[in-house]
Structure 1
Amino acid sequence: MKALFISFPASDYAASKRFYERAIGLRLLREFDGEPHRFTNYDLGGMMLKVYEWQEKYYGVGHSGLFVETDDLDEVVNRIRSLGGKTTDIVVHAWGGRSCSVTDPFGNIFDLIDSNQKGNA
C-alpha cells in the first residue's frame, strides 16, 4: 500500500487554483469538471494534492482527506471487517475509481482505492 493523494475541499475553487498554481507553484496534473464535483490534481513529487469543490450535494464515500491505494481492495476490506473494523461498501465512482471509506478504531476516516481501478483520480 502507498499514499496516493491528499485532498482538500475548496469553498472558492478559482481562488484555490490561483493559490496552489501561482503562490505555491505546484505543477497541474489533471482537471475534472463534472458531477458530483470538480477537482484539480497537483504534483507533490510522487504523490498528488487534489483540490475539489462539490457541484451538488453528495452523500457517498470519498474525499476524507487521504486516499491510500491497495492492489487487493477486496481482500483488505474483508480483513478489516473480519477484525471488527468499519468500512463503507465498495463503490465505483463516476470518475472511474473503485474505493471505500474506512474508519479506524479512533474514529479517523480515510479512503482505500483499488490500484487496479483508480479511474481518472
Structure 2
Amino acid sequence: MALTVDHVLAVVAVSEVETSAAWYERLFGVEPTNIPMPGILVEWRVTGNGWVQVTEDRERFGSSQLNLAVDDLDEKLREIEARGIIVGDIIEANKGVRLCSLYDPDGNVVTLIGGFRERY
C-alpha cells in the first residue's frame, strides 16, 4: 500500500530567522501563515497542502534548495523584483521549462520554475 501524505513541508535552514523571514515575506508578498515557534520557525502555506518552513539552524543554513513552480514566470519575477529582491537570469531548460534562481540572505537557492507540468 502506498504512503498517504496529507501535507508537504519544505524546510529552508537559515542562520537567523527574523532576517530571513523578512526576505521570504517579500518573496511571497504576504506575512507568514503561521509562526509555530517564534524566533525559530515561521511558515507559509504556498499551495493547498504545501508549506514552506523557514527555520533557524546554525549547522545547516545556506545549503537548502527550494523549487517553486509558478504559472507565469515573467510576471512573478517582475512582482518579486518590485518588492526589492534581486532576480537572476532566466534559463531556458528543456521542453519549454524556464528557470530563474534567487538567493536568500544565507545563500539558499530558491528556483522559480515556469512551464512546469506533471508529465513531459
- Please tell me the TM-score bracket, short chain as reference: 0.3 to 0.5
Higher relative contact order (CA 8 A, sep 6+): 2
Query: TM-score, with normalisation over the residues of structure 2?
Result: 0.39
